[in-house]
Amino acid sequence: MTEVEGARSFQVDGGAYNLFMGRYSKPLADRFAEAAGVRAGHSALDVGCGPGALTSVLVDRLGAESVVACDPSPSFVEACANRHPDVEVRAGRAEALPFDDDRFEVVLAQLVLHFVSEPLPAAREMGRVARPGSTVGACVWDFDRGMEMLRRFWDAALAMDPGAPDEARTMRFGRPGELVALFDSAGLQGTTETMLTVRSTCRDFDELWAGFRAGVGPAGSYCQSLPSRARDRLERRLHAEVGEPTGPFTLDAVARCAIGRTKGI
Ligand SMILES: C[S@@+](CC[C@H](N)C(=O)[O-])C[C@H]1O[C@@H](n2cnc3c(N)ncnc32)[C@H](O)[C@@H]1O
């Protein structure tokens, strides 16, 4: 799956997203805002906001009037705007942000840059709309072993189909130093990388499987693309991969987080 196809796989409604990735992006947003030092008085932009997990955290910390969000997916723009009627939510790609220069004190992209077709222009754009001396941050799942839900899914898929488009193989920025190198190339300064760990508990295996069946993101798209018998086999294989739970179970997820600054005046 290319990055453009990856981005298209988010043309789903906010409810489907929340069933799938929302269970992780909500707790991650808290950790990410903390790592970026978001404080009352800042104005902030959420790039690639999706249905608004990070937007919500920014609103809680800063107030709706100080938060702006954008996303290229019309259904996510609608979902985020419905959730936050007082927030300016715009349609827009990270590579061409629809905002003036030097507008925000904090510009953040949570779980977005690996889906962006042109990440360097996107990182430059994030710096352009941030004021001099301001914070620019991004986080992406550590795909090798850190995002257990996706890792178990792709291990199950690979066991049946060695050509399955494992995100650890197809996606960038989930390995040490990749986000820092991107930010350095975009002219951001003093970038540091940290790891953010979150966890989510599923009520039972059916809840986890329903998230994949919702067709969100590369994993959901792959799941939906399978003929029904292959999908049933994948379900059984995934059940084994997560330890054949008969009740609630918890999966951790680790994101790599880069925080840099724009040049001061
Ligand atoms: C995994 S979701 C993350 C959504 C949200 N930030 C969160 O943490 O829940 C990836 C998001 O990136 C968005 N996206 C894809 N391509 C993009 C681009 N070129 N510019 C900005 N956002 C993009 C998708 O529409 C989707 O909302």
Best substitution site from 21, 115, 150 to test ligand 1's pocket, by max atoms within 8 Å of Cβ? 115
- Tell me, what's the pLDDT at 183? 98
Token look-up 């707790």 returns 27
Closest ligand 1 atom to 11 CA: 25
Question: What's the pTM?
Answer: 0.93
Q: What is the pLDDT of residue 233?
A: 98
What digits encode the pLDDT tens for the residues 145-191? Answer: 789 999 999 999 999 999 999 999 999 999 999 999 999 999 999 99
* Beta carbon of 10 within 6 Å of any ligand 1 atom: yes
Q: pLDDT (tens digit, 9 = 90+) per residue, 203-242?
A: 999 999 999 999 989 999 999 999 999 999 999 999 999 9
Tell me the CA–centroid distance for residue 50 and ligand 1, in Å.
6
Distances, alpha carbon 174 to alpha carbons 27, 163, 252, in Å: 19, 20, 16
3-class secondary-structure state, position 239: helix
Closest C-alpha among 166, 115, 121 to residue 8: 115
**Predicted confidence (pLDDT) per residue in 85-115, tens digit:** 999 999 999 999 999 999 999 999 999 999 9
**b/e 124-154 (16+ beta carbons within 10 angstroms → b):** bbbbbbbbeebbbbbbbbbbeebbbbbbbbb
pLDDT, tens only, 24-69: 999 999 999 999 999 999 999 999 999 999 999 999 999 999 999 9
Nearest CA to ligand 1 atom 23: 48
Pick the CATH number of 3-144+170-199+252-261 from 3.90.1330.10, 3.40.50.720, 3.40.50.150, 3.40.50.300: 3.40.50.150
